Chains A and B, each alone.
Chain A
Amino acid sequence: KAGVTQTPRYLIKTRGQQVTLSCSPISGHRSVSWYQQTPGQGLQFLFEYFSETQRNKGNFPGRFSGRQFSNSRSEMNVSTLELGDSALYLCASSPGGWGEETQYFGPGTRLLVL
């Protein structure tokens, strides 16, 4: 099976702009989670989608949003970018059912905000 794919791999934006990142999960996986990774804060959970519904949400401001499509592909959007949003954004997929918590990560999208 193909692994989790994320596009784009690298992105440079300026403050105030918005950005959309995409994630394609492993075939058959219905859960997609998003994490932000920074040197100072480590890996922090943003949100998780399962069957097109947000099932869990982390402690990030409303500028961070996401959605999931019927084919389980997911996008996350960050509006009004701030310098502190520079990070590696990782998505992870899992089957999502009871006892199916094992998450498989994509390579990430590295976002630089100038």
Chain B
Amino acid sequence: GENVEQHPSTLSVQEGDSAVIKCTYSDSASNYFPWYKQELGKGPQLIIDIRSNVGEKKDQRIAVTLNKTAKHFSLHITETQPEDSAVYFCAATDNTNAGKSTFGDGTTLTVKP
């Protein structure tokens, strides 16, 4: 089955700096890669996603890049703010098994004011 590894497990940055979280996946059949932000006491919230036919996607301060050959994808957050502090999860999905995502172990991001 699919295996997703996520690094780092914790990340601390100064407000205004950039943060990068990286994930690798094992199953070449995976073709959909969402990123979620989870705040304390809440469910994961989708922040950005990318499909395998696209190499990069950007939404304001957030961007995701995908390297299908190397089987890795990354989340980039620029101009970080204290409200970006949360746990971030990457996931991989094979659309022939839609509804079944494999998640990374999460990255706890702390943005210091």
Contact (A101, B46) CB under 8 Å given A33-B100, A42-B103, A42-B106: no
With A102-B49, A107-B43 as contacts: A42 and B105 at CB distance below 8 Å: yes
> Known: A43-B89, A98-B95. Is A105-B100 also a contact (CB below 8 A)?
no
Whether A107 and B42, one on each chain, are in contact in the complex, defined by CB atoms closer than 8 angstroms, is yes
Nearest opposing residue in chain B for A41, CB measure? B105
Chain B residues positioned under 8 Å from A43 (CB to CB)? 44, 89, 103, 106
Most A C-beta atoms less than 10 A away, residue of B93, B95, B100: B100
Chain B interface residue count, CB cutoff 8 Å, equals 23
B69 within 8 A of A: no
A106→B34 contact, CB < 8 A: no
* Chain B residues proximal to chain A, CB less than 8 Å: 32, 34, 36, 41-46, 49, 89, 93, 95, 97-106
CB-nearest residue of chain B to A32: B99
Asked if A55 lies at the interface with its beta carbon under 8 angstroms from chain B, I say yes
A44, A48, A105: which contacts B99 (Cβ < 8 A)?
A48
Please tell me the number of chain A residues within 8 Å of chain B, measured between CB atoms: 28
Q: Note all chain B residues with C-beta closer than 8 A to A102.
A: 34, 46, 49
CB distance from A55 to the nearest CB of B (A): 6
The answer to whether A96 and B42 have CB atoms under 8 Å apart is: no
Residues in A74-105 with C-beta less than 8 Å from chain B? 90, 94, 96, 98-105
